[in-house]
A and B are shown apart, each in its own frame.
Chain A
Amino acid sequence: MPDASLSALAAQLAAKQISSRELARQYLDRIAALNPAINAFITVDAEKTLLEATAADARIAAGQAGPLTGVPIAHKDIFCTDGWRTTCGSKMLHNFVAPYDAHVIQRFKAAGMPSLGKTNMDEFAMGSSNETSYFGAVKNPWNTTCVPGGSSGGAAACVAARMAPAATGTDTGGSIRQPAALCGITGLKPTYGLVSRYGMIAFASSLDQAGPMAPSAEDCALLLNVMTGFDPNDSTSLEREKEDYTRDLDQPLAGLRVGLPREFFAEGLNSDVAAAVEAAVTELKKLGATTVDISLANSKLAIPVYYVLAPAEASSNLSRFDGVRYGYRAPEYASLDDMYCKTRAQGFGAEVKRRILIGAYVLSHGYYDAYYLQAQKIRRLIADDFNQAFKACDIILGPTAPGTAFKLGEKSDDPVEMYLNDLYTIPANLAGLPGMSLPCGFDAKGLPIGLQLVGNYFSEAKMLNVAHQYQRATDWHSRQPEDLK
């Protein structure tokens, strides 16, 4: 597949070198060819896609195209899409056709970007390997015996395999950044509140954010322009002046102070990953950056804090899945109560049930102060660490994940081992800060390595600038899995 950036595709469309329909057709063919092995998509509907593409072509012809009109995109199956099955990777919603569009989906429709389909994900966004999906695990295109990461595993895999030029993902504890790292693509989680959560099936409300996943930072910047903006239907959506996230891409990095948290380079970090990240730091220095040692002392508490807060919120958010108004209902039950209990026992997978139970426990009578309240307090300590750090540096850098793509089944028996994958990504979610992952090399087995940037609140343009300059000087982000080219 030609390595086509979003801007290149947009240019081709504008120049009438290709139509949106033709472009969509190409990607649909590639999806048909590759998806059986990768399982990146849960739902593909060629007819709907082509209809949307035809409409995009009409807009282009009428001179009413936006910057990305006609460029197709895949959507994580967590975004309610009117008339499309929206499953959240779960049996609970395996036949749920959404009757409305998520705000993010509305924005992409307004931008004229046809949907290539709904991508696979860990069930209800709970996971770091995309192995908990009711629709089967997603395979990493770089090595199909390995996981792509999660929960936006399908989105990451489909972009890595060039089944789509871009995809939307969501990130609660690292679910955009970590799969982006494991699949060798670029992914960004914006500052909390920049992208509307309306229509995005909730996992942990105070942590969830939608964001772009694409080969390059420039692509992500263009997508962020589409995705961000105030939504009156989301009380946590921020009202801010509209930004153009591409505006600072070409700024030189001279004078940039890059903070390196010592806690992110400590034990538990794979040596190949450490080496690749260190090489990236060297690269940035060549571009004019300097480094600063910083400490995020409370970041080691991020995982336990996250595994109190996220399950607590999730346990409540998932109560609506009860078989009454939509979704799965158990076929046999003896009473209303029995219906609830069987529906939820049968409709949810094991990881989801575990987290609901943890969540219910930490909120239950007598435990709220010791768990939930305590976690919220430590959350503030973690956020304060970042505030302190940003006095000494402009941007924070480290590895995205402690390792590279592991084998399918390798960690799925031990929940805690799985949770440790999110060590470096969770702190940004807890603080509400923007974070990004971009490819910076490969390990000895040829598996991608990701480098993470964490910026101060609303500093996406700066982060994208750093990433873009790095991507101009390197070509990790252009690499594609050999077997799939």
Chain B
Amino acid sequence: MSLTPDDVKRIARLARIEIDDVQAQATQAQLNTIFDLIATMQAVDTAGIAPMAHAQEVYQRLRDDVVTETDRHAAFQAVAPAVENGLYLVPKVIE
């Protein structure tokens, strides 16, 4: 498995992390050594093995349909970068 700088740029785009050509090159090299590490597990025959998502065989607990939360927007928005009239502000979204 070998990533190209284009791969790195594409993934960075997916992850919304800005990366210039120089960084992409450096990152590519490091990522490729990590992928070499990961490659060892790809060859293992896992036919018929069920993937393990959780340690215990437990199922999702269900919550009663009751309103338990109160209005805490003042506290939550005290730490927000940009707020106006109770709304979080972001650069204009163009559809």
- Tell me if B22 counts as interface (CB < 8 A to partner A): no
Q: Do A380 and B55 touch across chains, with their CB atoms under 8 A apart?
A: no
Q: Do A356 and B15 touch across chains, with their CB atoms under 8 A apart?
A: yes
Q: Do B55 and A192 touch across chains, with their CB atoms under 8 A apart?
A: yes
Shortest C-beta distance, B62 to chain A (Å), equals 10
Q: Quick one: which of A325, A414, A415 has the most chain B CB within 10 A?
A: A325
Shortest C-beta distance, B73 to chain A (Å), equals 10
Q: Do A326 and B55 touch across chains, with their CB atoms under 8 A apart?
A: no
- Tell me if A377 counts as interface (CB < 8 A to partner B): yes
Q: Do B90 and A336 touch across chains, with their CB atoms under 8 A apart?
A: yes
- Tell me if A189 counts as interface (CB < 8 A to partner B): no
Whole-angstrom CA separation of A238 from B56 in the bound complex: 9
Q: Do B27 and A307 touch across chains, with their CB atoms under 8 A apart?
A: no
Whole-angstrom CA separation of A375 from B81 in the bound complex: 38
Whole-angstrom CA separation of A377 from B44 in the bound complex: 10
Q: Quick one: which of B18, B49, B80, B92 has the most chain A CB within 10 A?
A: B18
Q: Do B37 and A307 touch across chains, with their CB atoms under 8 A apart?
A: yes
Shortest C-beta distance, B60 to chain A (Å), equals 6
Segment at the B interface, from A121-129, A249-257, A357-365 = A357-365
Q: Chain B 54-94 against A: per-residue CB contact (8 Å), 1 yes, 0 no? A: 11101011010000000010011011111000001011110
- Tell me if A225 counts as interface (CB < 8 A to partner B): no
- Tell me if B4 counts as interface (CB < 8 A to partner A): no
- Tell me if A301 counts as interface (CB < 8 A to partner B): yes
Residue of B nearest to A417 (CB): B33
Residue of B nearest to A301 (CB): B41
Q: Do B16 and A337 touch across chains, with their CB atoms under 8 A apart?
A: yes
- A236 touching B54 in the complex, CB below 8 Å, given contacts A344-B17, A356-B17: yes
Segment at the B interface, from A266-274, A366-374, A443-451 = A366-374
**The residue from A99, A235, A374 contacting B44, defined by CB atoms under 8 A apart:** A374
Shortest C-beta distance, B24 to chain A (Å), equals 10
Chain B residues bordering chain A, tally (CB within 8 A): 51
Q: Do A323 and B91 touch across chains, with their CB atoms under 8 A apart?
A: no
- Tell me if A341 counts as interface (CB < 8 A to partner B): yes
Q: Do A341 and B91 touch across chains, with their CB atoms under 8 A apart?
A: no
Contacts between the two chains (Cβ within 8 Å), count: 162
Shortest C-beta distance, A485 to chain B (Å), equals 41
**The residue from A323, A326, A377 contacting B49, defined by CB atoms under 8 A apart:** A377
Q: Do B12 and A325 touch across chains, with their CB atoms under 8 A apart?
A: no
Q: Do A357 and B60 touch across chains, with their CB atoms under 8 A apart?
A: no
Q: Do A370 and B42 touch across chains, with their CB atoms under 8 A apart?
A: yes
- A326 touching B18 in the complex, CB below 8 Å, given contacts A235-B60, A357-B11, A370-B42: no
- A380 touching B52 in the complex, CB below 8 Å, given contacts A336-B91, A361-B11, A364-B14: yes
Whole-angstrom CA separation of A191 from B41 in the bound complex: 25
Residue of B nearest to A97 (CB): B79
Chain B residues near A (Cβ < 8 Å): 3, 7-8, 11-12, 14-19, 27, 30-31, 33-42, 44, 46, 49-56, 58, 60-61, 63, 72, 75-76, 78-82, 88, 90-93
Write 27 A-B pairs (CB below 8 A) sorted by A numbering: A301-B41, A304-B38, A304-B41, A319-B15, A322-B16, A324-B88, A326-B76, A326-B81, A329-B81, A335-B91, A340-B16, A345-B17, A357-B12, A358-B35, A360-B15, A370-B42, A373-B51, A374-B46, A377-B46, A378-B49, A380-B49, A380-B50, A380-B52, A415-B30, A415-B33, A415-B34, A416-B34
Chain A residues near B (Cβ < 8 Å): 95-97, 99, 191-193, 206, 232, 235-236, 238-239, 301, 303-305, 307-308, 315, 319, 322-327, 329, 333, 335-342, 344-345, 348, 353-354, 356-358, 360-362, 364, 370-371, 373-381, 383, 414-416, 419, 431-433, 457
